[in-house]
Structure 1
Amino acid sequence: MEQAEAQAELRRRALDYHAQSPAGKLSVIPSKPCKSQDDLSLAYTPGVAAPVREIAADPEKAYDYTGKGNLVAVVSNGTAVLGLGNVGTLAGKPVMEGKALLFKHFADINAFDIEVQARDAEHLIDVVAAIAPGFGGINLEDIAAPMCFQVEEALQKMLDIPVFHDDQHGTAVIVAAALQNALELQGKVFKGVKVAIVGAGAAGLAIAKMLRALGVEAVYLSDVHGVLHAGRSDLTHWHQPFATAPAHWTLMDMLADADAVIGVSVRGAIPEAALSGLAAKPVIFALANPDPEIDPVAVKRLRPDAIMATGRSDMPNQVNNVLGFPFLFRGALDCRASQINQEMLLAAVDALARLAREPVPEEVQQAYGFSGTDGLSFGPEYFIPKPLDPRLRQWVAGAVSAAARKSGVSRL
């Protein structure tokens, strides 16, 4: 009853928060004065003709005379919104507004939320490509698989600005950084461990790809139809490279002796019965929100040697994309990168993993209710930085910019 009451209270507060005048979470604030006739003549006609002519002669001048270089489009078709599924473009708007708010708050990036009622992948691609010239980057959000793969790949080939599907790569970056540190705490490293990923959608596939790039050889995935193996005829070409399990495996076989289990699925997707069969000192990430794939209380009781992360802010080790996307884009925009490539993603992983090992400033301790010797320090209940850590921008964005320059995609 208490849980139901708490959920009802949260719902009421959330609705009040969004409805407070002005409704929603975004507004447009002018960055230049417009208080006099002279201001008006510079902001619009006739003065605005001067930058128009400059940009017409050299499109790169748009970065000098407009907000393009610090503006990201948050684009969704509403087909995979949070854990709510295909709720539609309009119902997804609060999430996209929230994403834009986080861009601004954490990385001082301006963002517009753009909800597209797209007929199919080709239509969505055409719409985004058509509006892209006005933006410095495109953040694709809450687009169901496999459409999200098709849309991102096509736009990355067509456009000369970063196109980034956060549900894939943002999640993969945070998971990889957290897993690197969690394995270290358990006396393990990427090479030689068995990783079982429960959920083979956008996030699951991106995590598998990232872990392979970091040296994990034994990565296995499952979806609602079972473990991914080469004998399945229902897999897309994006899934096929990860269909490496033996054909006879069940979910319990995939989880047996796993050093790490990563849930990017739904509540109950990781059975408690599998806990006893995991490797010694396992790492368990149950990232479904608001209800993890397995109850953390049960994990602590049944496998006290495990360390754990969830997607919830009220539990230790929250794996949250806000640790990644604002700073990935900040780093990319700062050096005017033409894309966010694998080198930049790996640099973000390394920066996040290293930052978690640094002493935590007092201001961060206080923000999370800690102080003194009882505060946050690298260990089983703190192996990924907290979202309110002000060092994230410097560490992650700086590493991303450096990787962009080194890999040749920076234009500054």
Structure 2
Amino acid sequence: MSTHPREQVDALAGTVDADRIASLTCALVAAPSVNPGGTEEEAVAVLAQACRDAGFDVELSEAAPGRPNLIATVNGDAAGPGLMILGHSDVVPAGPGWSADPFVPRRDGDLIIGRGTSDMKGGIASAVEAMMVIARAVEQGLRVSGPVRLVVTVDEEEHGVGVRHLVENPPPGQYVGCIVAEPTRLDVVRGCRGASYFDIEVTGRAAHSGRPSDGASAIDAAAKVIGLIGDDQRRMAADPDPLLGYGTWNVGTIEGGQGISVVAPTCSMGVDRRLMPGEDVTEIGRRLSAEIGAAGIDGDGIEVSVTPTMYLPGFATDADHPLVTATAQAVIDSGSPSTVGGWSAACDGGWTSSALGIPTVVMGPGDINGQAHQPDESVPLSELVTAAQAYVRAALALL
């Protein structure tokens, strides 16, 4: 852990500039980057320019055409392991219910309002400000043992194209840890469930509804599959994990049938399965397919396919890991109460932990449950400032 004097760290954290954070947050919100839509490029350009203006080394890497990941680095004075701060540039669609244009940021006292303020452009702005403070201090002779590196991926809200590209093209060097700047209200999340999506396609045999026994109803078969999913849900709920609870199923979409007077020849379901750390999405799909076969649902005119379409792993970092303790203490020293626990949401941190082997926590400004993905999304500027101060303190403790 760091030997930086407490007085020096406090003085540096005190130089965090609220106006700069607010300005960058608003500039990022005004560059919509809505997903689905693949429109992150404008927001990334705004962010890249802000990082270049701050003197960071900036690299852009296209995860898909017009969808660049950003890596911005403040180099220390030694080649030791660094600290990664992870974010994403995309936001969900605005949706109905806004009291004003969601992409024209506005202020209401301490609140900054606009799509992405909480999830998670405010957190990115806080990370940039923290890195600016550290960069100036390094120029003035502060010794840090490794780089601080901001990584911002595309497509986090949909299929994870950006983080998969990151895993295939990891930034150089080793890392003492990764802090994901997702909105946790500054609590430290040391474990997250993962997420996966399945397409379940059921094919039956059409017949006149007056003689349904001549056909094989795909909708009836789909209902039986939903019953199996419910049985599995109850099994998992009976044995919860103390930190993360248990995996969950949700049938989010269903579509089928040809007409009221026809035995349904097709039925399609889109299913969400939240994952515990270490669960394998391919094995979950295989197991469900085997249960469908054992229950006699397929056959006799019915065919069922189970196809995973998205996978984001879960993770858990030990409670006594230096990354966890340093990050929690950094938040407390910045003037905010903070708890350490788990999160029911999923984030790109599952990939940094499981695929890149980097110890990971989630800690950022904003409210994932109360503000993210909602009309009139907002974040308190005071919380953005506290987050930036905590990132400064955590980086100096770990480097």
User: What TM-score, normalized to structure 1?
Assistant: 0.24
Structure number having the greater helix percentage: 1
Larger radius of gyration: 2
TM-score computed with the length of structure 2 as normaliser: 0.25
Between 1 and 2, higher relative CO (CA 8 Å, sep ≥ 6) is seen in 2
